[in-house]
Structure 1
Amino acid sequence: MTYPDTYVDVLVIGAGPTGLGAAKRLNQLGEASWLLLDSSETPGGLASTDITREGFLYDVGGHVIFSHYKYFDDCLNEALPREDDWYTHQRISYVRCKNLWVPYPFQNNISMLPKDDQVSCMNGMIDAALEARVSNKKPQNFDEWIVRMMGEGIADLFMRPYNFKVWAVPTTKMQCEWLGERVAAPDLKTVTKNVILQKTAGNWGPNATFRFPAHGGTGGIWIAVADTLPKGNLRLGAKGTVERVDAESKTVTLKDGKTIGYGRLVSTMAVDSLAEKMGDKELVSLTKALFYSTTHVVGIGLRGVRPKNIGDKCWLYFPEDDCPFYRATIFSNYSPNNQPQASVKLPTIRRADGTEQNSHEPEEGPYWSLMMEISESSMKPINEERIIEDTIKGCINTSLISGDAEIVSTYHRRFDHGYPTPTLERDDALKQLLPKLQAKGIYSRGRFGSWKYEVGNQDHSFMLGVEAVDNILHGATELTLNYPDFVNSRANVERSLVEGKAVLSTFSAHQGAGKLGERA
């Protein structure tokens, strides 16, 4: 028998929010030996932040901090405890449609549209309301849900084209069980009133108020969380790169050839990658039913004062085909440290319309930045060679920047696994995959570990790791994984930690009711 070089009770793969949540809980309880591995030198995973050579920061997509869990809040406040570690923002978001900025959520603010489009949307909403009163059949996919809730007018103008740009699959191929609090269902009476009075609806959703770190972007949060853990329990970079997982011998082989034995494994790598590293043909076959889109993040650093039409906006949605991106974030609005200070001198690379500068001598700022997200899949291919050029052109088309805007920095990064798509086939595959892995002592958790977008935010992901550890050590229920509607149905699910066990204060009232998975 060959013995591993190291043995731990619980091995954690991945130093993103899920892996750090598991490590934080293991360290707090102190009841098991543990080790955290990650192939990157810097913690953060899909919640990390890059910095360009010019000094512009860009997150891996549009991340902000809002929470359903007190435990999550407490851990972040421990890592970044000072008041000036954070900026708190009121979300200011719009949809670009018909050359107008329509306040988010679009379906509640059709009063801002041209009259013909208002009529089309209202007719669709009335038809949908009448159908909902007599129908005894639930929507079978996301497209049917959209039409049932909002009607054909809003579906055609916004929901179908926008969601295809996000997910890179048609809405007919997506389920609707994942929606929860993520899509606002319009109230017909309120929308009618606002159309007649030409008023807009107020802010909606769990991220109407959000926090953002003052320094280091979103990745700075997770670096700070990792810094609260003992360094000897973290193996990052080449020495933390996993080459193979042997579920039979409960051994992980690293890139340097060393082996680690474990009692239980919490894996946050994409479950399709995990199955490949296990060499398990049955599991690999099951993962073929899981669909994902690739995300491209494109950043543009600009000199000058941001335009008046941009102002204090946070992020913006783009359903139309005059730009390749589905969302743009005015990243410089989140923190003044997301871009170089005004005193820094940078040369102008180009004007937005492609014309060259007369002089490339470095000049001072001020500076501001945009961060765009573009999806890709087999159903929605893109021209990666032109992605920066097409994005800049799209920014001009949508009035984000003018043709003579001075661009001082550009950024592009491709993330192969961007969004775990809630397709019609997803749940059947997960119902087989996750239990089979757990029967082998492997807890596959996280945005792509458990493949559930509805619990894929940073707070959800962190708690997936925490709850996996509570289940391993104490047999506690993994609420976030198993009951997404329940954890999403409250603005802040209160969690307390009593004698090392996770206790949900409102959970006992629902036990045995048989409706835990339904939206409250």
Structure 2
Amino acid sequence: MPDINVDVLVIGAGPTGLGAAKRLHQIDGPSWMIIDSNETPGGLASTDVTPEGFLYDVGGHVIFSHYKYFDDCIDEALPKEDDWYTHQRISYVRMQNVWVPYPLQNNVSMLPKAEQVKCIDGMIDAALLRRTAINKPKNFDEWILRMMGTGLADLFMRPYNYKVWAVPTTKMQCEWLGERVAAPDVKTCVRNVILEKVAGNWGPNATFRFPARDGTGGIWIAVAKTLPKEKTLFGKQGEVRKVDADAHTVTLKGGKTIGYKKLITTMAVDQLVEQMGDNDLISLSKGLFFSSTHVIGVGIRGDRPENIGDKCWLYFPEDDCPFYRATIFSNYSPYNQPDKSVKLATQSLGDGSKPKSSEPKEGPYWSIMLEVSESSMKPVDQANILRDSIQGLINTKMIEPTDEIVSTYHRRFDHGYPTPSLEREGVLKDLLPKLQAKDIFSRGRFGSWRYEVGNQDHSFMLGVEAADHIVNGAVELTLNYPDFVNGRQNTERRLFEGNQIFRNKATDRADAAGDAKIVDIEANKTGMANGSANGTKEIPTRDRAASKSQSSHGRKTSKSVK
């Protein structure tokens, strides 16, 4: 007999696991527990602090949301106005020794004339190709050529995406793109080139929020605190040793066993099937590809340079630096680095030479966070990656050789990016249903392996919707319809539209099968858009037109998991 029995067990206390736990806590009925091998919640959205007091996230994270439910949950966890900073994104691409406003494809007017001609020629050729093309692009590389042309492909898209994904664009599919890559408007680009104009902000993260204190990880620590402590098991006592799908048990490293009816797991799905010891699923998971991520931080004494200004994050397609992205992390919050009154010793100068004095001195301080990808197709010199990254900062005019470096940080994350490879869809369409047939819901950035719904809001809702599906039979929008949830940037999901779309889909399926029973989306009204299943308790929601007003809780209805 298991030591503990629950209706729903959640493995992982990152955004997905916490989303599932939050939803289960609101639904009155099923017993549940959340476990994680880390003492601190957050997973791949956590934050580290250096001995000198510089904060660095696990990669570039900001808050821009597609879901009101997500907004309500994090605002409940961090409710005060001074818990947050709101920023207008200021992003650039560094190339040809100039800073080009992001996205590059809308701002070729900033490039040297020769490169402008190549880009415009390519765009015109691509526009003509789109008029005559019959078949869809076979891969990401073909999509780039068809949407942007050879000029932008060779100048930016191919080299940059290789630096990010650590695989060639020819080995990636293009269904994942959605709103993430802006296709250029040829007329606008030509007009901007002639008039020497710059295009404005684009994309879902043109405005974003960031927590004032404790970095991104502080959000998830706060969310975890809204859960009952007796239902959490974090640290070594929550580390999984084995998942027995047949017995519906999870064995922990300490020997304790937990029995479950349904399992929501946010472990990387390739590691999950290893824990299960299922050779067929292990073999199937070999078709999934991922890259590792190195996060490097550099803390610097002195005033922020004029050329850095209020920049947020920056892109680097060229080979004069190993990193593909740099985030000016000190610009997100003044609490991301020590106060200027703190005295720190200079560890080295930018060029690697020793400082004249090792005596601690006051600030001010600022910081840069860098990301470097690694894979079997793109090896990294790990022994020298910090040195090479600092040299890359000098090469790209981010810092000077004489700048005083007072703190450095380097951490490698084995599973960094779930690659949307050509093989991915074939694997997931087979693997995830087979796991679900065993009552295992593999969800999250690496649990469901869908980068297009891998942001913090997406990840959180993957957990919320898995819980709602288990208890109420609700449709998992984010997992199954990523184009829908990403369809309108910076807006809430509209319940009526969602109901109508999925009622039609369900009706079509039922008609095709000759079955009168269809999924009743209407029965889960609040669960679809606002995250509250019909008749269950709602969390406080915010009236955005007012400021911080909150709604009352709804009534409770018991639900059981079968």
TM-score by length of 2: 0.89
| Paired letter, 1:143 | D
Q: Deviations over 1:114-165 (max 9, x none)?
A: 0000000000000000111111111110000000000000000000000000
Give 1:219's aligned residue: 217
Identity score, percent? 72
In the TM superposition, residue 494 of structure 1 has moved relative to its aligned partner by: 3.3
Render the CA deviation track for 1:302-336: whole Å, top value 9, x for unaligned: 00001100000000000000000000000000000
Structure 1 contact 316–329 (Cα < 8 Å) conserved? yes
d(CA) in 1 for partners of 2:491, 2:344: 46
Q: Is the 8 A contact 1:174 1:423 kept in 2?
A: yes
AA matched with 1:365: G
* Residue number in structure 1 paired with 2:165: 167
- Whole-angstrom distance in 2 between the partners of 1:509 and 1:23: 28
Residue 488 to residue 168, structure 1, CA distance change in 2 (3 Å): same
Distance in 2 between residues matched to 1:381 and 1:298, nearest whole Å: 16
Question: What amino acid maps onto 1:146 in structure 2?
Answer: I
Match of residue 132 from structure 2: 134
Unaligned runs of 5+ in 1: 496-502
Paired residues of 1:493 and 1:504 also in contact (CA < 8 A): no
User: 2:199: which partner in 1?
Assistant: 201
**Map of 2:386 onto structure 1:** 388
Structure 2 runs not aligned, ≥5 long: 508-562
What are the residue-to-residue correspondences of 1:408-447 with 2, within 5 Å? 408-447=406-445
Partner of 1:101, secondary structure, is strand
Residues 445-485 of structure 1, C-alpha deviations (whole Å, 9 max, x = no match): 00000000000000000000000001000111000000000
Which residue in 2 is equivalent to 1:489?
487
Matched, 1:343 2:341: yes
SS for the counterpart of 2:304 is coil
Runs of 4+ in 1 over 3 A off after TM superposition: 492-495, 511-516
CA distance in 2, matches of 1:99, 1:212: 30
Residue in 1 that maps onto 2:498 = 507
Instruction: Please state whether the residue corresponding to 2:394 is helix, strand or coil.
Output: helix
CA distance in 2, matches of 1:388, 1:243: 34
| Residue in 1 that maps onto 2:536 | none
- Asked if 1:66 corresponds to 2:64, the answer is yes
Match for residue 399 of structure 2? Answer: 401
RMSD (Å), alpha carbons: 1.2
Q: How many angstroms does 1:512 deviate by?
A: 5.5
Aligned to 2:549: none
Match of 1:85 in 2: 83
Residue 39 of structure 2: aligned partner: 41
Rounded to whole Å, the distance in 2 between the matches of 1:493 and 1:256 is 46
Task: Name the CA distance, whole Å, in 2 between partners of 1:444 and 1:259.
Answer: 20
Which residue identity is paired with 2:137?
Answer: P
Q: Distance in 1 between matches of 2:492 and 2:468?
A: 16
Name the count of aligned residue pairs: 507
Give the AA of the match of 1:91: R
Greater Cα shift, 172-181 or 485-494: 485-494
The residue type equivalent to 1:22 in the other structure is A
Question: Counterparts of 1:346-365 in structure 2 under 5 Å?
Answer: 346-365=344-363
Letter in 2 for 1:505: F
Q: Contact between 2:64 and 2:490, CA under 8 Å: does it hold in 1?
A: no
Measure, in 2, the Cα distance between the counterparts of 1:90 and 1:481: 29
How many angstroms does 1:355 deviate by?
A: 1.6
Mapping of residues 117-266 of structure 1, within 5 Å: 117-266=115-264
Indicate whether 1:288 and 2:286 are aligned. yes
User: C-alpha distance in 2, partners of 1:203/1:418?
Assistant: 27
CA offset at residue 66 of structure 1? Answer: 0.3
In structure 2, what residue type is equivalent to 1:325? Answer: F
AA in 2 matched with 1:201? A
Match of 2:539 in 1: none
Contact 2:100 2:110 in 1 (8 A): yes
Residue deviations 1:265-291, cap 9 Å, x none?
000000001000000001100110000
For 2:314 and 2:395, locate their aligned partners in 1 and report how far apart those are by CA, in whole Å.
14
**Cα distance in structure 1, aligned partners of 2:188 and 2:106:** 8
Give distance in 2, aligned partners of 1:437 and 1:362. Answer: 56
Following the alignment from structure 1 to structure 2, what is the Cα–Cα distance between the partners of residues 129 and 325? 32
Contact between 1:487 and 1:493, CA under 8 Å: does it hold in 2? no
TM-aligned CA deviation for residue 432 of structure 1: 0.5
